[in-house]
Amino acid sequence: MPGFELFGDLERKEVNDVLDNGVLMRYGFDGMRNGHWKAKALEAELTKTFETKHVQLVSSGTAAVSVALASAGVGAGDEVIMPTFTFVASFEAIMMLGAIPVLVDIDDTLAIDPKAVEAAITPKTKAVMMVQMCGSMGDLNTVQSICEKHDLIFVEDACQAIGGTYDGKPLGSIGDLGCFSFDFVKTITCGEGGAVITNNSDYYLNADHYSDHGHDHEGNDRGAETHPFLGYNFRISELNAAVGLAQVKRLPEFIGIQKKHYTIIRNAISQIPEVTFRTVPAGGEESYAFLNFFLPDLEIARKVSKGFKDNGIDVCFHYYDNNWHYIRKWEHLKNKKSLFPLSAEIKQGLENLKHQTFEQSDYFIGRNISCLIKMSWTENEVAKRAENMVSIIKDALKS
């Protein structure tokens, strides 16, 4: 991770095909295309990759979450349960629909805690979103059972976990809807892009319409299409889809490289007794895009994080002090800072965040170091990196 590290001839071929053809928009201009439809081809390829009936490409992972929720009828005043550890896009996508993000604790999987989900359900709850951060997953079976028990929509945000599996199924394909990001730093990239996947034909049709101004996409005259309902512009371009079409064909190659590099580093630091690793639920296999491990306490984690930075060990993150990915620094959410007036329901729903604490999440995120696994490293570079990481961790534990 990320896929741009290994751009090659296949990506260039697909992009040049679009440029030679001259149609950059995914819809319309049928006569100019000469049969070239990159977005459609990528959607067909992704149905096989994700083992799902339907795929709708969109402009980003953020758009994918909004489109997925809207397609299932989530909107104004509805509550969506989400984790404290994610990217800010999660609550942005919820709030854009007028819905209310309800944040709950994570557990040692670094994903949403099923017990916290159950405790947060109210009559307003409409959906639960499990965010599969840093290449792995939470207890999907238990969360799915909770959703079924309470008649809630179960959304998998697998934007950071493409290639991971649970009980032999691709992550994203287990819930009612799955969301993916193909931005510039994901395992496969379109530059910018995302996807909604589902086995529910109604949700898919809604996503297809909603992501393109409500167009029904009937016939081959775009100007004559009707609009069954309101929609917005979340379209992907043919150029972006062309890059993704090349990259998705290389996903097994990318996962294999990530797994090799991940394993070398994990084997090295696993020899340190004080280091433990995130829990991967039984039946789950990570995408190996990140290596996540826990240190004994917050102080030691901060020392290790600083030691990594001071010694050139890049792309390792201590999310406890991170502005983008953890609740502690989301002051704009807690203080409801918006360019436009928020609804009274959203304001009321977010009011508790000013004073709410998440001790369980702090316990796990405070001790966690998350290291991105690059595909461009040589094996010697990985081995040297692992050796240096072990030395830095041991020094931090002694001091």
Structure-block tokens of residue 367: 């001790």
Can you name the residues that pair with 223 across neighbouring β-strands?
none
Q: How far apart are CA 132 and CA 78, in angstroms?
A: 22
Task: Indicate which residue of 124, 186, 329, 347 is catalytic.
Answer: 186
Distances (CA, A) of 58 to 42, 144, 249, 380: 12, 25, 19, 39
Query: What type of residue is 54?
Result: H
DSSP string, 281-328: -TTEE--SSEEEEE-SSHHHHHHHHHHHHHTT--SEE-GGG-TTTBGG
Catalytic-residue membership of 354: no
Written as one string, the DSSP assignment of 25-88 is BSSS-HHHHTT--HHHHHHHHHHHHTT-SEEEEES-HHHHHHHHHHHTT--TT-EEEEESBS-T
CB 61 within 8 A of CB 86: no
Cβ(57)–Cβ(195) below 8 Å: yes
Distance of alpha carbon 26 from alpha carbon 263, whole angstroms: 40
Determine how β-strand 169-170 pairs with β-strand 165-166: antiparallel
With contact defined as beta carbons under 8 Å apart, do 163 and 254 qualify? Answer: yes
Residue 358 · residue 327 · CB < 8 Å: yes
- The answer to whether 104 and 117 are in contact (CB under 8 A) is yes
Please give the Cα distance from 233 to 301 (Å, whole number). 43
Element (H, E) at 169: strand 169-170
Give the active site residues.
186
